[in-house]
Structure 1
Amino acid sequence: MSNMKIIALLSACKTRWLRWPKKIRILTAVMAIALCAFTAWGSWSWQQLDSVLLKGNSRLYTVAKGAKAKDVLVELAAEPVSPFWSVVWLKLHPELSQIKAGTYKIEKGWNVKHALLVFVSGKEAVFSVTLIEGQRIEDWLLALSKSPYLEQPLTPDDLNSLRSEFNIEQENIEGWFLPETYSYTVGSTSRDILRRAHNEMKGYLEKNWKNRDKSVPYDSPYEALIMASIIEKETGKVDERPRIASVFVNRLNKKMKLQTDPTVIYGVKDRYDGNIRRRDLEDDNPYNTYVIDGLPPTPIAMPGKAAIKAALHPDKTNYLYFVAKGGGAHKFSTSLAEHNNAVRRYVLEQ
């Protein structure tokens, strides 16, 4: 369109405008100004929402089930935001509307948009608890009770219900849970963690039982689990575990008593005060391997993966004895005379 035509069109519009009644002209002008102001304010408002920061410091924030993104946005914003323009802004950013219920970690300095993206992802705040190999179930219950945001702590009085819930045949559930670091979210329970640990143990034990050294003298995976718990308590050195296992396997094959102190300690329970006395070695309980033949009736601790592998794949040796020689290591012997010399050297003469 040429300049002359544009000028003519504007002149015609002006002429028509001037023919309107004065009140209509004023009202139209006011409405036009208001529309422009409203549009400008709206544009500024939703552009501001792209960068408005969260209020408060880093913390956990829970998105309730059924919560609306617009309400969460208004609640979290560090400065007042218009509920109306929040809705408009979310219409322009539909990817931010599908927030998921859960508890999330939000950081100081984040903007609201970042937080909503996290809520949409469903990646809740994650915590962890480490269940340590060689400990007893009572130790684990205590560790779980002290873990932050883990609900429904358990006590030893709950062990029977756990046994029933997890379909554990043995009356004593010791050993039936795999030591690992387990992650969880807010709202998880101690039972949830133990259920996972039990399933992990069942799966790991079954898999490794199938691949075991077929010469090991166990009649069932459970007997291997018992042996693994003894190995776990006897040494913390991973490279020694297959050798420790060989000693116990050799003794079982020769119908010798295992004579392992950790089983004695487990059998006398709270009576143990840090020293094993003669009365403990002679105590007639099913865990005292100085008295009973073969394995004790249940595991005496929670064995880890390395101990289970050692129980199922012991070294091939002629060792029948071992004694601690310091630094976590052991002296291994094939005869009682050799063992007694080692005891004198590493224990009695210290």
Structure 2
Amino acid sequence: MKKFLLVLLVIVVIFGGAGLFGWNYYNGIGENPLKSDSDKVIVTVERNATLNGIFDDLAASGNLRNLILTKLYMMQHPLNTNIKAGTYEVPADATLEELVKELREGKNINEITVTIPEGYTIERMGGLFEDKGLFSKQEFIDAAKAYKHPDWITNVESRRYAMEGFLMPDTYKFEKGITPTYALDVMHKAFVKKMDAILKDLKIQSPNTRWNRIVTIAAMIEREAANTDEMPLVSSVIKNRIVKRMKLQIDATVVYALGKESTDKVTLDDLKVDSPYNTYAISELPVGPIANPGEAAIRAALQPADTNFIYYVLDPKADAHFFTANYNEFLAKKAEFSN
């Protein structure tokens, strides 16, 4: 009898110990669900992926201690599982809660932030993308040339790039491995969305067949104005010159016609460049936008200030333009500011 009781006690101790071990192991899943030979585990979340699917992937790659217990633990300890697509670097010693939080709020290591400033040309955008390591400048230029432009963009054969002006300057988040065409598509859709929003806000009815003209003017405003406050004034000069049938004579169009981004000074020889963009040579608007304008410039093109100004000259000390309707006053200020 004593022998039987001893055996029974041993059995109880063994199963009790196993149960305690199992319970501790189960709770340990919450504290340390991952396993890895390094201090990091790379977790990729595809679009529309579920957390259970992520657990399956981790188990398949040998980076999860126990698939069944992990899913069971999640059922007993619900968390916010609104995870987002991306690739994440998770510490190998992360808790289950920390793992899920990283997939929900963490930094996508394959995501690259690109800020396109107002007034950038397609060529400058290409250089920026190259600097960010997404693709080369030439690949972006080639893609811009081949991009299927909307039907309302006209005179394409005379333009340097049909899409110049119709890519919205903004801050974008792109994944490594995207194509230049994808980037162009995202920026053009952003432009269309922004144009629609501006027109709606200003209560202006303007079919997209007029967007060529609006954006061509906006691009000149963007490249000429010293600041956003000046933009409606520059716009008024352009409007007044068009009404008076005067050549626009805007230096920024010459710079673009020369294939440059900027120049210290436009020379008399520069003004002679044969180009449909050179507003010193043509008696109309340039054939297309000379840059990609931002929202302020587009608004100024749509709503120029009510002035009689037809001249302006930069005061380098004030970093602002002097505006006038008097030619002699313009010449006097030009001489003053050049000294």
Query: Shorter chain as normaliser: what TM range?
Result: 0.7 to 0.9
What are the equivalent positions in structure 2 for 1:68-217 lying under 5 Å apart?
68-69=54-55, 72=58, 81=65, 85-86=69-70, 89-90=73-74, 92-93=76-77, 102-106=86-90, 110-119=94-103, 121=104, 125=108, 127-147=112-132, 150=134, 154-164=139-149, 169-170=153-154, 171=156, 172-185=162-175, 188-209=178-199
Of structures 1 and 2, the larger Rg is shown by: 1
Aligned to 2:328: 337
Contact 2:324–2:330 (Cα < 8 Å) also in 1 = yes
Residues 70 and 238 (structure 1 numbering): CA distance in 2 closer, same or farther, change over 3 Å?
same
Alpha-carbon offset, residue 93 of structure 1: 4.5
Query: Do residues 228 (structure 1) and 208 (structure 2) align?
Result: no
Alpha-carbon offset, residue 242 of structure 1: 0.4
Query: Do residues 41 (structure 1) and 39 (structure 2) align?
Result: no
Contact 1:103–1:186 (Cα < 8 Å) also in 2 = no
Aligned Cα RMSD in Å? 3.7
Alpha-carbon offset, residue 96 of structure 1: 8.5
Contact 2:166–2:191 (Cα < 8 Å) also in 1 = yes
* TM value normalised by structure 1: 0.76
Aligned to 2:240: 250
Alpha-carbon offset, residue 113 of structure 1: 2.9
Contact 2:232–2:304 (Cα < 8 Å) also in 1 = yes
Alpha-carbon offset, residue 222 of structure 1: 1.3
Residues 106 and 152 (structure 1 numbering): CA distance in 2 closer, same or farther, change over 3 Å?
farther
* TM value normalised by structure 2: 0.79
Which whole-Å CA distance do the structure 2 matches of 1:93 and 1:236 have between them?
A: 58
Which of 304, 312, 317 is the aligned partner of 1:314?
A: 304
Unaligned runs of 5+ in 2: 157-161
Contact 2:221–2:301 (Cα < 8 Å) also in 1 = yes
Aligned to 1:14: none
SS of 1:45's partner is: helix
What are the equivalent positions in structure 2 for 1:264-343 lying under 5 Å apart?
264-270=254-260, 274-326=264-316, 327-343=318-334
Aligned-pair identity in percent equals 26
Count of aligned pairs between the two proteins: 320
Residues 84 and 59 (structure 1 numbering): CA distance in 2 closer, same or farther, change over 3 Å?
closer
Unaligned runs of 5+ in 1: 1-17
